[in-house]
Amino acid sequence: MTRTHGLTFDAPTHTYVLDGAVVPSVTGILKAAGLIDFSSIPPFVLEAARARGTAVHAAIHYYNADDLDIPAFTDEFPDCVGYLEAWIRFRELRRFVPVLNEHRLASRRYQLAGTADCFGLLDGAPVLLDFATGRPQDVAKDLQTAAYYTLALEWAADGEDPELAAFLARGVVRRYGVALRRDGSFSLDPYSDPADFREFLALVDAYRIVTRRRPACCSWVPEVA
């Protein structure tokens, strides 16, 4: 379990607790809305994809921190090596410098939390990246990054995170989804629609309405992680 001031994150259950209360996550809102939906994928395929995504995210995290044993990763996860190579190629070709990795964020105004993949400098400009081993558009990365950026602005303004505040002081942060592919290639999807966060907030409102009105006896439980 990790704690950042008033925010606690429990990794095994993927649960966020803000000031003592469980709050939904950004991805939890998107799942509840059906914008992240893998129900049609066979369980064995889905489990393999989840394991791959977890391994690749962890590898990128440690690579960004200059703490990844690449030969050991190659031996243990041979099917994931191409995705790591895609990230390395992206960093080299786009002169990307990671600053904050796997960064926890929260909003007391909206009672939400989440973990942004990476804040950094892309060709010298501040950006927020969220990467995927599938297609970013399939998991609403545009809305996801808009939510993370809004949470980041509030979290920093509240004085909760001086490092984040210092990064945001560099100027307007642009948002991107990064698709990493098994063959070592990558693509960069820019997001600039000002309506992205408004659309995400509409999903938050819908989530809270359903949560409040759904009969307690029903078996359906909205996801919070």
The predicted-structure confidence for 128-176, as pLDDT tens digits, reads as follows: 999 998 887 888 999 999 999 999 999 999 998 999 999 999 999 999 9
Nearest CA-CA partner of 130 in 24, 199, 56, 224: 56
Looking at residue 173, what DSSP letter applies? P
174-180 and 125-132 beta bridge pairing: parallel
**Mean of pLDDT values over 74-89:** 95
CA quadruple 181, 100, 167, 179: dihedral, nearest 10:
10
Quick one: pLDDT band at residue 43, thresholds 50, 70, 90? Answer: confident
pLDDT at 182: 94
* CA distances from residue 184 to 35, 62, 95, 115, 135 in whole angstroms, order as listed: 27, 18, 17, 25, 15
pLDDT at 140: 92
**Mean of pLDDT values over 180-204:** 96
Instruction: Quote the CA–CA distance of 56 and 186 in Å, as a whole number.
Output: 14
pLDDT at 214: 77
CA atoms within 13 A on the CB side of 123: 3
